[in-house]
Amino acid sequence: MKRALEGQVVHLEDVLVPRHSADGHDVWESCTFAPHRDAQGRIVGVIGLVHDVTKRHRSEETFRTIVEGTASATGADFFPVLVRSLASALRAHCAYATACGDGVHAKGLAFWDGDKFGSH
């Protein structure tokens, strides 16, 4: 605000604001502040634009968790590690992966059932 009152346009990208939502949750925001001038060009206030980017941050965090969880898995271990990472990242009880090579029939590749692998 001080810099905007000094005449600068200030852009703050992706700032975490703790307990900022109405229900007390943390919020990620991108903000732009610019000086507001009167007819004589004097700064009389600040105009601010605040954009909530929390959903994007959560999506990126989810994706990062999945990628990091599967980064070292290869071969036959990949799909079991993937479904376990998906369930964890999405906070889901179950997750599964299938292949549908012929466009008609699905083949189970891995199934995570809460705390263990299930049958395909």
The residue among 63 and 103 whose pLDDT is bigger is 63
Q: How confident is the model at residue 120 (pLDDT cuts 50, 70, 90)?
A: low
User: Which amino acid is located at 56 in the chain?
Assistant: R
What are the φ and ψ backbone dihedral angles of 105, each rounded to 5 degrees? -105, 135
Four-residue CA torsion sign, 15, 17, 21, 26: positive
Give the tens place of pLDDT for each residue, 67-114: 888 888 888 889 998 998 888 888 889 999 888 888 788 888 899 998
Of 46, 44, 40, 60, the residue nearest 10 (C-alpha): 46
Give the pLDDT confidence score for residue 54 in this predicted structure: 92
Q: What percent of the chain has pLDDT over 70?
A: 99
User: CB under 8 Å to 15, separation ≥6 — which residues?
Assistant: 28, 29, 30, 31
Q: Are the C-beta atoms of residues 19 and 25 closer than 8 Å to each other?
A: yes
Identity (one letter) of the amino acid at 118?
G
What are the structural domains of the chain? Answer: 2-52 (3.30.450.20), 59-113 (no CATH)
Task: Collapse the DSSP code of 54 into the 3-class scheme (helix H, G, I; strand E, B; otherwise coil) and give the result.
Answer: helix
DSSP H or E segment with residue 44: strand 43-52
The whole model's pTM is what? 0.58
**101 compared with 26, residue with greater pLDDT:** 26
